Amino acid sequence: MSSVYSAISRIVARSCRDGAPELPGYLDDHAFMLAALIETMQTRFRSQDWTFACGLADALLVHFEDRDRGGFWFTSHDHERLFHRTKPGRDNATPSGNGVAAQALIALGHLASESRYIEAAERAVRVFAPVLAQAPGGHSTLLSALEDLEVPPSFVVLAGEPAETAAWQQALEAKFRAGVRVLDLGPVDAPPPALVKGHRPARGAVGWVCRGTTCLPLVTSVADVVRALAQGR
């Protein structure tokens, strides 16, 4: 794990000098990068982005999580010793690192069927529960994470001929559906095992609609996907 984090820290840095990382990344750098990767994979799925995303999630758990109380520190465990170490939960000019980390871990946890990501997000939301009750308006990112814990997000996995799966994705994304992610694996020769939901057809396209870590039976038309999504979130 340390070698993975070392590689990630060279990419997710707070600042660089002469092309080399100068200061290691903080919580926000890792959480926001993870959230961006999850969005990017819906535009064009690449296995290397998936691997990077899982590495970032692992880094958050190993190097930033408060293992005693839950939530994520702003600085990593191997950061220089500080007089006061913060654990930001309130949204300011940018969303809180804990809120973004929780949302991203919930999404990736369901996609990858990794309960430890979801459990870490739940611990983060739980530790901020008192302030969420007192000042919900200042913690909307964490509130969104709480909603995702209560109602797991849906996602659609597409497989088959690249031209066909691209047409499916375009049709599905013509209408905004909150909380739904579409992953087109048509162009991917060797998808991550966690995303392989069934047999890939030689012709045409198929899809699987999943809610949380549970997937419905294979569907063979865009209309079937739309109907399945309409029954959920």
Token digits of residue 4: 């993975």
Tens digits of residue pLDDT in 44-69: 999 999 999 999 999 999 999 999 99
Whether the predicted pLDDT of 122 surpasses 60: yes
- 78 pLDDT exceeds 80? no
User: pLDDT band for position 18 (50/70/90)?
Assistant: low
Listed range (8-22, 30-44, 96-110) with the worst mean pLDDT:
8-22
Q: What is the pLDDT of residue 32?
A: 95
Least confident of 86-90, 117-121, 154-158, 183-187: 86-90
Type and span of the H or E element at 180: strand 180-184
Three-state SS for 13? strand
Mean pLDDT of 126-130: 96
Asked whether residue 15 carries a pLDDT value surpassing 50, the answer given is: no
Instruction: Report pTM.
Output: 0.88
- Domains identified in the chain and CATH numbers: 2-150 (1.50.10.10), 154-230 (no CATH)
C-alpha span between 73 and 87 (Å, rounded): 4
Output the pLDDT for position 5: 46
Nearest to 11 by CA among 79, 61, 59, 74: 59
| Alpha-carbon span 183 to 201, nearest angstrom | 16
Residue 23 confidence class, pLDDT cut points 50, 70, 90: low
Instruction: Give me 87's structure tokens.
Output: 């654990």
DSSP 130: H
pLDDT score recorded for residue 179: 85
Q: How confident is the model at residue 3 (pLDDT cuts 50, 70, 90)?
A: very low
| From 14-23, 81-90, 93-102, 171-180, the region with the lowest mean pLDDT | 14-23
pLDDT at position 199 over 50: yes
pLDDT at 20 over 50: yes
Predicted pLDDT of residue 171: 95
